[in-house]
């Protein structure tokens, strides 16, 4: 009936077209009208033809029944996955966001026809609701969306083969291994299978190759795809696709690694600062706060897992501990630097180790101590004593000038001290008188001599006090130099050790070459690693 109507409409259209040629004056207008009517009739004919064709094909068909001839023979569903875009890998929530194209093929023996009987038509596209569809879902989804995002048409071939290629955007769970972050490699899975049919009712198989098709893949700026294999699991009832990813490290190297390493070495600069500048504690605490900020940044990126510690977190923890120790030893160094003889007495073993042995080992040379001239009543000008009398008489036991014993003075190179001088005589006991000495000086002269002796003793004690203080300061400098070398060795060794512990630090991935190789392997049906 459908085909009879088709021929009637075709004959009518031809008759109208021939009849329109008798009027030459209105030929153009009639041709346009005829063409429009002919298009409408052809569209109607085309619609009617395929309507009749679909009615014949789906007569007696039930889309709720699985297309198998024998219940003991499972239906084989072939599947392929084409990765189009890796949208995101959320390390904290452990979710992989992908844009993929699924390809499902199966055989429905009820939907067959002979193309000769239907104008050579070999394919028919229908809505998924009209045919039986395998309930293939993503098992490890992370957002509750098990099915595809767009229900595209199903292609039916004349031999009963069914083809369905729906696009989908999936959020799948992916266990993130952060041990070597940011030099890490992740393996994420996409597990597909039937939700209701068992392995005795439906079998899964690969459509072409055991892997993911990457021919339409758009490269990610964060991850490199280095492998995309697939395996059949659970007695061929499921297909497990793997996506092996390696992180691009340039961003994290510039933003995270280099500043962290520089901060680790910056914390050693505290041992260069002079102790009396007051900036040692300021620098160490500032570096400590910076490390805490970087730890917070890493904690925001990484998942809160206790199974492993990220590589960058280990390095930050090492730097944090070293900075804490730096603060502690800086407090001790400041305490040593400001010690004096009135509060602390340096033990001999400390003096031997830190003032003699350690400076030689650390190639440190202590500056020579400047010679201090103590002014007294002798020498030329201010350094010479005033004559004691107009005559040649002098103070008993002192000699010609009120200074020294005849040898060089301890505090002045131009002054000599008398062995039995009145200055060195015990208090309250008269100094021995010489035969050729004039009578003693007056009380003003004696007071002047006592004042000079007091000043000399005070300067001598002040010089000794300064010498002891300088010993403590020099000891603090030696400890600074020693800790500088120790912390530099620990920081350098820790930096090299942490970096070399990552397996992919010096490996660079050329994504174009890798994708080209994976596409060639997929076309030849080889395993994609």
pLDDT in the model for residue 457: 83
- How far is it, in rounded angstroms, from Cα 397 to Cα 405? 9
Res 5 pLDDT > 70: no
* Residue of higher predicted confidence among 2 and 265: 265
Res 451 pLDDT > 50: yes
Tokens of 478: 């030696």
Region 272-301 average pLDDT: 86
pLDDT in the model for residue 347: 86
pLDDT in the model for residue 426: 44
Res 6 pLDDT > 50: no
Res 95 pLDDT > 90: yes
Kindly report, residue by residue over 11-24, the tens digit of the pLDDT.
554 544 444 444 56
Structure confidence at residue 381 as a pLDDT band (50, 70, 90): very low
- How far is it, in rounded angstroms, from Cα 2 to Cα 14? 19
Res 427 pLDDT > 80: no
pLDDT in the model for residue 166: 93
* Residue of higher predicted confidence among 422 and 273: 273
Strand 95-107 relative to strand 161-164, pairing: antiparallel
Cβ neighbour number for residue 103 with a 10 Å cutoff = 16
Res 292 pLDDT > 60: yes
Kindly report, residue by residue over 107-141, the tens digit of the pLDDT.
999 888 888 887 788 888 899 998 999 999 999 99
Kindly report, residue by residue over 388-416, the tens digit of the pLDDT.
333 333 344 444 334 444 444 444 444 44
Among 36-45, 244-253, 424-433, which range has the highest average pLDDT? 244-253
pLDDT in the model for residue 93: 87
pLDDT in the model for residue 34: 62
Res 373 pLDDT > 90: no
Structure confidence at residue 466 as a pLDDT band (50, 70, 90): confident
Structure confidence at residue 25 as a pLDDT band (50, 70, 90): low
Region 214-227 average pLDDT: 92
Structure confidence at residue 367 as a pLDDT band (50, 70, 90): confident
pLDDT in the model for residue 148: 82
Strand 123-126 relative to strand 406-408, pairing: unpaired
Residue 191's SS3 state is strand
Residue 2 and residue 51 in contact, taking contact as beta carbons nearer than 8 Å:
yes
- Please, what is the average pLDDT of the chain? 78
- How far is it, in rounded angstroms, from Cα 119 to Cα 247? 55
Structure confidence at residue 81 as a pLDDT band (50, 70, 90): very high
Structure confidence at residue 439 as a pLDDT band (50, 70, 90): low
* Residue of higher predicted confidence among 389 and 242: 242
Res 492 pLDDT > 50: yes
**Of the ranges 146-155, 179-188, 406-415, which one carries the lowest mean pLDDT score?**
406-415
pLDDT in the model for residue 162: 93
pLDDT in the model for residue 406: 42
Structure confidence at residue 33 as a pLDDT band (50, 70, 90): low
The length of the chain, given as a count of residues: 529
Structure confidence at residue 529 as a pLDDT band (50, 70, 90): low
User: Helices H, strands E: what count in the chain?
Assistant: 10, 15
Question: Pseudo-torsion of CA 77, 82, 86, 87, nearest 10°?
Answer: -70
Please name the residue that has the structure tokens 């060639």: 520
* Residue of higher predicted confidence among 386 and 100: 100
Res 435 pLDDT > 80: no
Cβ neighbour number for residue 214 with a 10 Å cutoff = 21
């Amino acid at each position: 009936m459908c085909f009879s109507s088709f021929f009637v409409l075709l004959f009518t259209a031809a008759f109208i077209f021939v009849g329109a040629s008798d009027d030459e004056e209105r030929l153009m207008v009639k041709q346009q009208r005829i063409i429009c009517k002919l298009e409408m009739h052809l569209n109607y004919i085309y619609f009617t033809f395929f309507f009749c064709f679909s009615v014949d094909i789906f007569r007696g068909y039930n889309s709720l029944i699985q297309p198998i001839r024998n219940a003991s023979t499972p239906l084989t569903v072939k599947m392929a996955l084409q990765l189009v875009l890796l949208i995101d890998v959320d390390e904290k929530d452990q979710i992989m966001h992908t844009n993929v194209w699924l390809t499902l093929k199966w055989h429905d023996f009820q939907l067959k026809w002979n193309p000769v009987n239907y104008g050579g038509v070999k394919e028919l596209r229908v809505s998924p609701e009209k045919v039986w569809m395998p309930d293939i879902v993503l098992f490890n989804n992370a957002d509750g969306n098990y099915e595809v995002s767009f229900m595209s048409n199903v292609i039916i071939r004349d031999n009963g083969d069914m083809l369905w290629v729906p696009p989908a955007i999936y959020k799948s769970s992916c266990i993130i291994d952060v041990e070597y972050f940011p030099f890490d490699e992740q393996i994420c899975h996409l597990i597909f299978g039937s939700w209701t049919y068992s392995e005795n009712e439906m079998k899964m198989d690969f459509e072409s190759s055991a892997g993911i098709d990457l021919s339409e893949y758009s490269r990610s700026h964060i991850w490199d795809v280095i492998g995309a294999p697939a395996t059949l699991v659970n007695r061929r009832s499921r297909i497990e696709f793997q996506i092996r990813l390696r992180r691009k490290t340039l961003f994290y190297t510039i933003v995270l690694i280099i500043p962290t390493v520089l901060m680790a070495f910056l914390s050693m600069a505290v041992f260069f600062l002079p102790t009396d500048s007051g900036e040692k504690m300021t620098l160490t605490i500032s570096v400590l706060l910076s490390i805490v900020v970087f730890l917070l940044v890493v904690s925001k990126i990484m998942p809160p897992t206790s199974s492993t510690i990220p590589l960058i977190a280990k390095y930050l923890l090492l730097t944090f501990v070293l900075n804490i120790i730096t603060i502690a030893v800086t407090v001790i160094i400041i305490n040593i630097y400001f010690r004096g003889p009135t509060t602390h007495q340096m033990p001999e073993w400390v003096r031997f180790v830190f003032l003699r042995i350690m400076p030689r080992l650390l190639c440190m040379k202590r500056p020579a101590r400047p010679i201090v001239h103590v002014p007294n009543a002798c020498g030329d000008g201010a350094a010479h004593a005033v004559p004691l009398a107009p005559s040649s008489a002098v103070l008993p036991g002192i000699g010609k000038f009120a200074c020294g014993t005849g040898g060089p003075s301890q505090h002045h190179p131009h002054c000599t001290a008398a062995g039995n001088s009145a200055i060195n005589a015990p208090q309250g006991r008269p100094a021995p008188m010489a035969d050729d000495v004039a009578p003693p000086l007056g009380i003003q002269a004696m007071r002047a001599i006592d004042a000079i002796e007091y000043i000399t003793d005070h300067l001598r004690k002040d010089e000794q006090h300064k010498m002891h203080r300088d010993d403590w300061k020099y000891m603090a400098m030696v400890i600074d130099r020693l800790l500088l070398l120790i912390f530099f060795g620990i920081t350098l060794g820790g930096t090299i050790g942490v970096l070399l512990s990552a397996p992919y630090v010096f490996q660079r991935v050329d994504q174009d070459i890798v994708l080209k190789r994976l596409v060639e392997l997929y076309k030849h049906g080889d395993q994609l690693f």
